[in-house]
A and B are shown apart, each in its own frame.
Chain A
């Protein structure tokens, strides 16, 4: 394997502009095509990696050891073999192929992971919400939970390019900014979960 593996047209954390993503034994880097800082991630901080279909193409989601989440979108389906080897050989990490639910259902199970909330439909994730993107939650009614997202006051300026991954920007990255999501959670399930049992 070459000392550096390079991929073009990759978007970091839903950036407006694409950039070049490079993998080396010591870690990975992303540099926007336009002006902006380079983002780097040390291989020691890679705690896990998933491969899924996203908006621009296929996405690698990296779970950092310090619990943050990095999303790299824009890979081609046929890049999987090459990337799987990179993660296995250089980072001793399995690039897990995570197929998402495409059923179009609005019911399933909300599960709380280390860094994000996953809504599963028939044991497949339908979507994920990184905790870093949530600005507020409240009990909006009986069995109803409202989750508000960090879109910020200067929302229109959000989603600019550069190496500023992570916090409170993903909900407002596109032209349709997600401001709120409400869940219906039946009372019995909530009680069971509070007691630590499986629903």
Chain B
């Protein structure tokens, strides 16, 4: 703006245009990472549901007895931690999915998925920064 302060703007994004773009693996009703489209596809009651990497805050794995848990946190208003406060939203008055937790007996897989999500997130931030540097 005129004060030279960078104003964060919300930029629109889209995972898929047609359902034919889903990775074939969604058949298994398991968590699928789609690097090409910067999207993770989560099984919700038998339906593959895409979440763009831009909606994701982080993912973490934990263990409890024979079960491993994967919790995926999404960006939503009112999370109020430091600089995250200025996170722009298209519609802050909307309802938000804030987190989804899955469990499985395959803990190695969840560690791998959490890693892949972190990488995807890092990649997206890097790309965004490169784009910004080009514009300057």
Instruction: Name A residues whose Cβ lies closer than 8 Å to a Cβ of B.
Output: 14, 52-56, 59, 71, 73, 100, 102-110, 119, 126-130, 133, 142-144, 151, 155-156, 170-171, 173-186, 188-189, 199
Is A183 within 8 A of B98, CB to CB? yes
Instruction: Give A129 Cβ to nearest chain B Cβ, in Å.
Output: 6
* Interface secondary structure of B, over-half rule: mixed
- Residues of B within 8 Å of A54, CB to CB, are 46-48
Is B77 within 8 A of A129, CB to CB? no
Given A107-B89, A156-B105, A177-B104, CB of A71 within 8 Å of CB of B15? no
Is B19 within 8 A of A102, CB to CB? yes
Interfacial residues of chain B within 31-61, with CB under 8 A of chain A in the complex: 31, 39, 42-52, 54-55
- Residues of B within 8 Å of A103, CB to CB, are 13-16, 50, 52
Is A108 within 8 A of B13, CB to CB? no
Number of residue pairs A-B, CB distance < 8 angstroms: 165
- Residues of B within 8 Å of A14, CB to CB, are 29, 45-46
- Residues of A within 8 Å of B16, CB to CB, are 102-104
Q: Please give 13 more A-B residue pairs, beta carbons under 8 A apart, in addition to A104-B15, A107-B97, A199-B93.
A: A53-B48, A71-B45, A102-B21, A103-B13, A103-B14, A104-B14, A104-B39, A107-B95, A119-B97, A177-B102, A178-B101, A181-B97, A184-B77
Q: Which one of B68-76, B115-123, B124-132 is at the interface?
A: B68-76
- Residues of B within 8 Å of A184, CB to CB, are 76-78, 95-98
Select from chain B the residue with minimum beta-carbon distance to A175.
B30
Given A102-B19, A184-B77, CB of A129 within 8 Å of CB of B101? no
Among B30, B43, B91, which residue has the most Cβ atoms of chain A within 10 A?
B43
Instruction: Give A110 Cβ to nearest chain B Cβ, in Å.
Output: 5
Is B52 within 8 A of A105, CB to CB? yes
Instruction: Give A108 Cβ to nearest chain B Cβ, in Å.
Output: 6
Is A178 within 8 A of B100, CB to CB? yes
4 tightest A-B contacts by CB?
Answer: A104-B15, A104-B52, A174-B29, A102-B16
A155 to B105, CA, bound (A): 10
- Residues of B within 8 Å of A109, CB to CB, are 94-95
Is B78 within 8 A of A107, CB to CB? no
Select from chain A the residue with minimum beta-carbon distance to B66.
A156
A108 to B19, CA, bound (A): 19
Given A55-B27, A55-B47, A175-B28, CB of A107 within 8 Å of CB of B96? yes
A68 to B61, CA, bound (A): 34
Is A175 within 8 A of B39, CB to CB? no
Given A103-B15, A106-B51, A107-B90, CB of A177 within 8 Å of CB of B103? yes
Instruction: Give B109 Cβ to nearest chain A Cβ, in Å.
Output: 9
Q: Judge if B5 is at the interface, Cβ distance under 8 Å.
A: no
Is A175 within 8 A of B50, CB to CB? no
Instruction: Give B20 Cβ to nearest chain A Cβ, in Å.
Output: 9
